[in-house]
Amino acid sequence: MAQKPSIPKGTRDFSPEQMRRRNHIFSTIRGVFNRYGYQPIETPAMENLSTLLGKYGDEGDRLLFKVLNSGEFTSSLSPELLQPGMVNRAALAISEKGLRYDLTVPFARFVVQNQAGIHFPFKRYQIQPVWRADRPQKGRYREFYQCDADVIGSKSMFNELELVLMVDEVFQQLNIRTAIKINNRKVLYGIAEHIGHPDRLIDITVAIDKLEKIGAEAVMAELQSKGIDAEACAKLLPIIGLRGSASEQLDVLRPLLEQSEVGKLGMAELDELFGLIAQAHKAKPLHATVELDLSLARGLNYYTGAIFEVKALDAQIGSICGGGRYDDLTGIFGLKGVSGVGISFGADRIYDVMQQLDLFGQTDEWNAIMVANFGEAETLYSMSLLRQCDLQQTPVLVYPDTAKLKKQLDYANALRIPYVLMAGDAEMAQQQITLKDMTTGQQTTIAASELAAALNAIIEQKQA
Amino acid sequence: MAQKPSIPKGTRDFSPEQMRRRNHIFSTIRGVFNRYGYQPIETPAMENLSTLLGKYGDEGDRLLFKVLNSGEFTSSLSPELLQPGMVNRAALAISEKGLRYDLTVPFARFVVQNQAGIHFPFKRYQIQPVWRADRPQKGRYREFYQCDADVIGSKSMFNELELVLMVDEVFQQLNIRTAIKINNRKVLYGIAEHIGHPDRLIDITVAIDKLEKIGAEAVMAELQSKGIDAEACAKLLPIIGLRGSASEQLDVLRPLLEQSEVGKLGMAELDELFGLIAQAHKAKPLHATVELDLSLARGLNYYTGAIFEVKALDAQIGSICGGGRYDDLTGIFGLKGVSGVGISFGADRIYDVMQQLDLFGQTDEWNAIMVANFGEAETLYSMSLLRQCDLQQTPVLVYPDTAKLKKQLDYANALRIPYVLMAGDAEMAQQQITLKDMTTGQQTTIAASELAAALNAIIEQKQA
């Protein structure tokens, strides 16, 4: 056991300092979800593989972490399954469970399984880790948290509006300037019809989804490699390159989609959503810019209406939040015709943006009070005084050992603790205690009877 | 896909109602941990199997969920490994990772791996799920949360005192009457010496750990089956059956352990701890009863000093919290001589106790305000009014669809929402809004300009 222990690649430990930052992000998101009337649920880390398989494409199936069956699993491995090329089937022979890959499929499973107890429209949120056996790389992990809010069982565009307002509020609170990009899958279908390839919607969305990353030429090359002719590409490019206000872009698009029933439906949805957003903005301005981006595609094929993506304006990073409407997510589990819409915040990318932009600020402070230890009687005296004080949520950390004062103060500094309370014989005799401000070095002696008031005044001042 | 989806046995979904109750328990525990200056960390769900194996006994190894390696894992399965009886070795050939079994071993691994960045004494807490491939039964799950607080790198008995105070505070806040039982592993060793079997400490502790469950006779039978003679048993029984105050029991025990150096050390530790608790109690009374229980053993072999267990006084259930001091937990990962002490709260059992005793009360209420939907203009009007109001954390749920009012009010009732806001043409024309109290049925019309004040008054009254 001499070897230093380690953790699996792509996974992470989180220190108290990192936890403080992460919790700041989670509690901001959770606070907004709560305030909009979304309620939390949780689902198990392990799902039956039958729930997960086939929901994320072949690549997704491959990236599922599979959990080995208990018991004599080897007896399920026929010689045939041990042949080269049979490894996927062998895996399924010896594992029935897998770790969840996202929160969307477990949510759909939850809704179908528990539908009798659910009141629709069901507004739920879920903040839990997910696992993917992806190749680990910078900013990509094998275990990471998703923060999802969905409303299911309502077709109203008010849900889309509300999600936009929620996104705006989260990033305003986190102090991240953002652009919320919106598009509509029905409009994308209409565009596919317009360029003569309605049957290739998926190839088209997959390709244009990469527009920002790889550029227009590479997208065109990819499309042509998929059999979409140059003429169609020539029609597509100016459309997904449109800029300007939503209504300006829609005015250009309207005549082009005249022949597409689905496309016209999508246009009407965009009209309605941007109209609602404009009215909400008039009543109380949004902080983010909200734009129609016809090049926005979202890779996931279950989207059927509005789609969203959020970019940080001041950082070079992919989207930090995304989502959209799906008309039949629960259909895969046998519950048809229940429309929903949702968003998902990427906590890790948000963390990276905030770190890059130095936005954590006060979050890094730990407003604790440390009780120095000068011996058993002294420490009991200080602890007793503090136990009488109602300091609300302020942490009080008792230094447990009777160590040299310098060592104790160094400890307080290392932990960024701003105040240390000290009581020796003199203080005990006078029913007093000494407060040391670790920033200024200043010491103040306080009567025991006034300790609560003094500390609460300091805490209030800190928080202001 | 016609089959109704399900989740793996021993795992659970949590509904919003259950989450509200669970979050009440978690946030109470987290609040106390925070206020005592413990800081959160998190570790990955998956650990390397080399970290986990051999730490929980053979039974524990068997109960680890193992995660199948990615890639061509079958090539690691030599014909020998497929023979009957080789299944454990076969499992290790094709899985390198496992789900964490508890939070203690990952914490020890964390401390050793990250020791360069840790300031000792390190007070940390961790609230995360753990997984065990146990046979599921009533109250025992394959995925459940542990809530652990530990301080590592300090031998001071102030840590034990503080943990007792924390336990007391948690259960006081949750309104659960408890007895905190304390013992000491060194004293148990001294007793083993006294009865002539110092080498059989583990057998003895394992057996007496079952005293309450199976009774004295069955414990004696088990001890004798392990080769501990009747004479030794006859000496043991009256000791572990001692009752009375800590000092009364220690007075009986003192002469018996006169010959045991380790036992005397343990007695001194108990003297000190009960002395500290008595003084803390004098300064501010504890709510729990705190007792010395010489029959308390705690199954886990890494404990070396004080051990704790907490029983709910008004419910028939096993311990709802437990812990103790360990002198060498990190030794298994190569960091020697770092003493620590910790406690672990069992959230699921606490939940069961609170449900049994009907202690959730207010937790079950959802103090949200619903905005009824009479059409697009009306809903935008109400939403806009509410977006101008600072209602702190109060959830505002907009009913997204323009449905019949009865349907909307039924929905509010089903979700236990106490207030519904309604605005139709009349209210819009007058710049007013109508508030319906769902409990009394009473409706009040409020001027838009006074909405925030009116709602905040209601919220304050609710919370009082």
pTM: 0.95
Q: If you measure CA to CA, which chain A residue comes closest to B279?
A: A380
Nearest to A13 among B71, B114, B279 (CB): B114
> pLDDT confidence of B1, banded at 50, 70, 90?
very low
Strand ranges, E, within A280-376: 289-292, 306-312, 321-326, 340-346, 369-371
**Among B186-195, B207-216, B439-448, which is the least confidently predicted range?**
B207-216
Torsion sign across C-alpha atoms A80, A86, A87, A90: negative
CATH class of B365-463: alpha beta
Q: Do the Cβ atoms of B82 and A94 come within 8 Å?
A: no
Residues of A whose CB is below 8 A from B394: 35
- Buried b / exposed e over A90-124, threshold 16 CB at 10 Å, is bbbbbbbbbbbbbbbbbbbbbbbbebeebeebbbb
Residues of A whose CB is below 8 A from B5: 48, 50-51, 109, 112-113, 333-334
Residues of B whose CB is below 8 A from A124: 16
Nearest to A67 among B7, B67, B370 (CB): B67
- Give the 3-state secondary structure percentages of chain A, helix then strand then coil, rounded to 5: 50, 20, 35
Q: Express each pLDDT in A108-132 by its tens digit.
A: 999 999 999 999 999 999 999 999 9
pLDDT at A294 over 70: yes
Give pLDDT, residue A3: 66
Residues of B whose CB is below 8 A from A75: 84
**For the sheet containing B306-312, what is the strand order?**
B39-40, B122-131, B143-152, B340-346, B321-326, B306-312, B178-184, B289-292
Strand ranges, E, within A107-159: 122-131, 143-152
CATH 3.40.50.800 domain residues, chain A: 365-463
Question: For residues B296 and A142, what is the distance between their CA atoms, to the nearest angstrom?
Answer: 42
Tokens of A190: 């209409």
Residue whose entry in the numeric block shows the structure tokens 């992000």: A25
Question: For residues A233 and A192, what is the distance between their CA atoms, to the nearest angstrom?
Answer: 10
Separation in Å, CA of A76 to nearest CA in chain B: 10
CATH 3.30.930.10 domain residues, chain A: 16-40+101-356
SS3 of chain B = CCCCCCCCCCCCCECHHHHHHHHHHHHHHHHHHHHCCCEECECCCEEEHHHHCCCCHHHHHHHCCEEECCCCHHHHCCHHHHCCCCHHHHHHHHEEEEECCCCHHHHHHHHHHCHHHCCCCEEEEEEEEEECCCCCECCECCEEEEEEEEEECCCCHHHHHHHHHHHHHHHHHHCCCEEEEEEEHHHHHHHHHHCCCHHHHHHHHHHHCCHHHHCHHHHHHHHHHCCCCHHHHHHHHHHHCCCCCHHHHHHHHHHHCCCCHHHHHHHHHHHHHHHHHHHHHHHCCCCCEEEECCCCCCCCCCCCCEEEEEEECCCCCCCCEEEEEECCHHHHHCCCCCCEEEEEEEHHHHHHHHHHCCCCHHHHCCCCEEECCCCHHHHHHHHHHHHHCCCCCCCEEECCCCCCHHHHHHHHHHCCCCEEEECCHHHHHHCEEEEEECCCCCEEEEEHHHHHHHHHHHHHHHHC
Q: What does residue B206 show for φ and ψ, rounded to 5 degrees?
A: -60, -40
**Among A5-9, A267-271, B328-332, which is the least confidently predicted range?**
B328-332
> pLDDT confidence of B318, banded at 50, 70, 90?
confident
Separation in Å, CA of B440 to nearest CA in chain A: 22
Q: If you measure CA to CA, which chain B residue comes closest to A336?
A: B2
Residues of A whose CB is below 8 A from B287: none
Residues of B whose CB is below 8 A from A119: 411, 414-415
Give pLDDT, residue A405: 97
Q: Express each pLDDT in B156-186 by its tens digit.
A: 999 999 999 999 999 999 999 999 999 999 9
Q: Do the Cβ atoms of B40 and A19 come within 8 Å?
A: yes
Of chain A, the percentage scoring pLDDT greater than 90 comes to 77
Question: For residues A376 and A173, what is the distance between their CA atoms, to the nearest angstrom?
Answer: 45
Tokens of A226: 């998929």
pLDDT, average across residues B223-251 = 91
Q: Do the Cβ atoms of B154 and A401 come within 8 Å?
A: yes
pLDDT at A50 over 50: yes
Tell me which fold the domain B16-40+101-356 belongs to.
BirA Bifunctional Protein; domain 2 (3.30.930)
Give pLDDT, residue B91: 92
Q: In the A/B pair of chains, how many CB contacts fall below 8 A?
A: 312
Of chain B, the percentage scoring pLDDT greater than 70 comes to 99
